[in-house]
A and B are shown apart, each in its own frame.
Chain A
Amino acid sequence: MKTLLKNCRIVNHNETKEANILIEDEIIKSITTDEPEADKVIDIGGKTVMPGLIDMHVHFRDPGLEYKEDIESGSEAAVAGGVTTVCPMANTKPVNDNRVTTEFMVKKAMNKGLIDLLPVGAVTKGMKGEELVEMGDMLEAGACAFSDDGLPVLNSDVMRRAMEYAKGFGAMILSHSEDKHLAGGGVINEGEVSTITGLKGIPAETEEIMIARDILISKLTGGHMHICHVSTEGSLKLIKWAKEQGYKVTCEVTPHHFTLSDNELLNYDTNFKMNPPLRTQADVQAMKDGLADGTIDCIATDHAPHHIDEKFQEFDLAPFGITGLQTLIPLTLNLVRSGVITENEMAKLCSYTPAKLLKLDNKGAVAEGMLADLTVIDTELEYTFNKELNRSKGVNSPFMNKPLKGIAVKTIKNGNVVYEYNG
């Protein structure tokens, strides 16, 4: 089976070119200005083609909390957002802290057949922060990395041993860096807006203290520490320093943290409640600077669906988190339009680097010999993100019913079109 994608504007991390893409079975056979014979020809019409986006940080709630999201609905939301590979976190019910659960997740996603799902295993059994999981066994079963995300690994010795052990398998630890004691019962960023609203604050230092510790544990062990959802200017300074020292530290930022500030919380809207919380305008600017100067390695959504009833509560009681898969492209394109990053950097942040971090040698670039995972983007399309477009079970997005620009119009996985926008 040969498929020819005609009139592609290919955007890779290092180049932009106009060409046709010939796919044979599930591999990119050639990239050419010729028109080779094919069983099927699809005219891309000059739209942007990026390597399939890789989201290293999602929550699919499956097993156990399928009413929020399951692997099927999560897969659909992913491809509708142009994402072809996801790494779901381990805070499922039961926790993904064993081979059987990992296998279950991988298999369920394969049955659905839209995306590659690479589970993140928990660092500790039951995410209790005490005993290490069987990392080797879980890696064999398809796990890609380890994290107790949702919770920090509070005990520094446990984190040290986890890093040492994971390093032996060449795996990285994804750190949800949060000093729970300092966070107290906080629900939003501590600052002007918490003063105005009377909502309890979470200081920036809650995150920075743990990042500082995690950096030093990386130094101690030589292991690869990837810091999840960085949200403060101070965090980025620490990470920049760690990189200058040559420690194996990388980090990600979410689209909401480079887009929104805590000013949004003045109305007590629980769709803006997330952890880490939205920070100040200065922090938002710092995220943009960090993306522009390369301190931030990649963009991940921290897609966190919740049921509508759970968000329709007193602010203090509503859960943290918002959905993100389907707003990744428009929000990142906003950075391109405003000159913060280039399109090539977008391909790098959303696909090339995540592939490198996850050691996926056949992904992350539109190139001969690579897997034919492709995202076709209409960068100019303006639309309203609404319930009809939304594929997640969660509607807890601050961008719901808001105008957006730029969208995945076709998502191709293993050479097959798995999603098509028809709005």
Chain B
Amino acid sequence: MSFKRKDLIGMKDLTPEEITYLLDTADKFREINERSVKKVPTLKGRTVVNLFFENSTRTRTSFEIAGKRLGADTINFSASASSTAKGETLIDTVRNIESMKTDVFVVRHAYSGSIRFIAENTEASVINAGDGLNEHPTQSLLDMLTIRQHKGDLSGLRVAIIGDITHSRVARSNIWAMKKLGVDLRLFGPGTMLPVNTDPFACHMCSSMEEAVEGADVIMMLRIQRERMGKLLLPSVREYAKFYGLNMKRYNMAAKDAIIMHPGPINRGVELSSEIADYTNSVILPQVENGVAVRMAALYLLGIKKGDNNEDPS
């Protein structure tokens, strides 16, 4: 098995085999990251451009470290501040940078579907680092890698995803991917944060926190974007914490040793009480660590082109 795609646009497009292959590859890179010299020359001479049309220090840094550990030249390009503000079109911006011999673009953009649009109009490989409300595939991969690490095979696990489902590309990517790997998914959030039509998700929609966490092997809390609150999605943070937050009492309803996840950054006392965030079964920091391994896997599989010797990363 190998990964034949030019781009990594979304989990929606991938087969279960491709997802597993990406995770297996990431597992190997996880080992490299345990070494004292965390660097391999696999992508030496390759140029990876982090093209961020929307700010995200965390994701960008994670990709940057991943690229550097593979020996690639990684360049950061914050587009919102420069070209597009001058009226250049998205595709012109991309083609301009591509003409400087870019091998891989890592792109974040505020609009759904825009990464796919870019991928269709460039020869370079494109990795989606988050597009609008649509997808954030590497976040989903790092979530699954973390779950595998702690719980083993994903098939048959019960995973609860709680919070702003509608506006979360993390949730979307995880829903598409986890369903394919046989996860029993439960979703819950305030009515303002659930899609009107959830049929395509084919998930169990819960009507209370208690129902969502009961028996769960994994509790994945989504981030509340406080800046959205002015837009009628929530009356108050206080009320959110009360009805949609995870505390120890609710955690105790989950399966034994259930792990607690969060894509970060955490709003302490909102999605999670502090005792939960810092609890032994919280895997929030391992998630961040796995982010690098997953992004190395993605860069490796897309950055290695035909004709190169596709040697095993270990």
Contact = CB atoms under 8 A, between A and B. Distances in A.
Interface of A: 190-192, 194-201, 203, 268, 309, 312-317
Contacts of B71: none
Nearest to B89: A313
B111 A197 contact: no
B132 interface: yes
26 contacts: A190-B196, A191-B196, A192-B197, A192-B200, A194-B195, A195-B198, A195-B201, A196-B200, A197-B112, A198-B131, A198-B132, A198-B133, A198-B134, A199-B133, A200-B133, A268-B113, A309-B89, A313-B89, A313-B90, A314-B90, A314-B111, A314-B117, A315-B112, A316-B110, A316-B111, A316-B114
Given A197-B134, A312-B91, A268 B116 contact: yes
A207 to B, nearest CB: 15
B68 interface: no
A301 to B, nearest CB: 27
Contact of A314 (B109, B133, B172): B109
Contacts of A317: 111
B169 interface: yes
B12 interface: yes
B109 A198 contact: no
B117 A198 contact: no
The 8 closest A-B pairs by CB, nearest first: A198-B134, A268-B113, A198-B112, A198-B133, A316-B111, A314-B114, A314-B111, A195-B195
A315 B117 contact: yes
Contacts, number: 66
Contacts of B111: 314-317
B312 interface: no
B129 to A, nearest CB: 15
A138 to B, nearest CB: 36
A60 B12 CA distance: 40
A22 B232 CA distance: 66
How large, as a class, is the contact surface on chain B?
20 to 34
Contacts of B201: 195
B172 A198 contact: yes
Contacts of A203: 196
A50 to B, nearest CB: 41
A191 B134 contact: no
Contacts of B7: none
Residue with the highest number of chain B CB atoms closer than 10 Å, among A190, A195, A199: A195
Given A196-B12, A268-B116, A316 B198 contact: no
Contacts of A201: 195-196
B164 interface: no
A119 B221 CA distance: 56
Contacts of B117: 268, 314-315
B115 to A, nearest CB: 10
Interface string B65-102: 00000000000000000000000011100000000000
Given A195-B196, A198-B113, A315-B111, 17 more contacts: A191-B196, A194-B195, A195-B199, A198-B132, A198-B133, A198-B135, A198-B169, A199-B112, A199-B134, A201-B195, A203-B196, A268-B113, A312-B91, A314-B111, A314-B114, A315-B112, A315-B113
Contacts of B112: 197-200, 268, 315-316
A190 B195 CA distance: 9
A145 to B, nearest CB: 35
A200 B134 CA distance: 10
B131 to A, nearest CB: 7
Contact of B200 (A190, A195, A200, A314): A195
Nearest to B90: A314
A196 B169 CA distance: 11
B179 to A, nearest CB: 13
Interface string B10-21: 001000000000
A314 B108 CA distance: 13
A204 to B, nearest CB: 10
A128 B230 CA distance: 26
A200 B166 CA distance: 9
Contacts of B134: 197-199
B170 to A, nearest CB: 11
Nearest to B91: A312
Interface in B121-176: 131-135, 169, 172
Contacts of A196: 12, 200
A73 B113 CA distance: 33
A102 B110 CA distance: 41
Nearest to B175: A195
Residue with the highest number of chain B CB atoms closer than 10 Å, among A190, A194, A197: A197
Interface string B170-198: 00100000000000000000000001111
A314 B88 CA distance: 13
Contacts of B198: 195
A199 B133 CA distance: 7
A268 to B, nearest CB: 4
Interface in B263-304: none
Nearest to B132: A198
A415 to B, nearest CB: 48
A316 B110 CA distance: 9
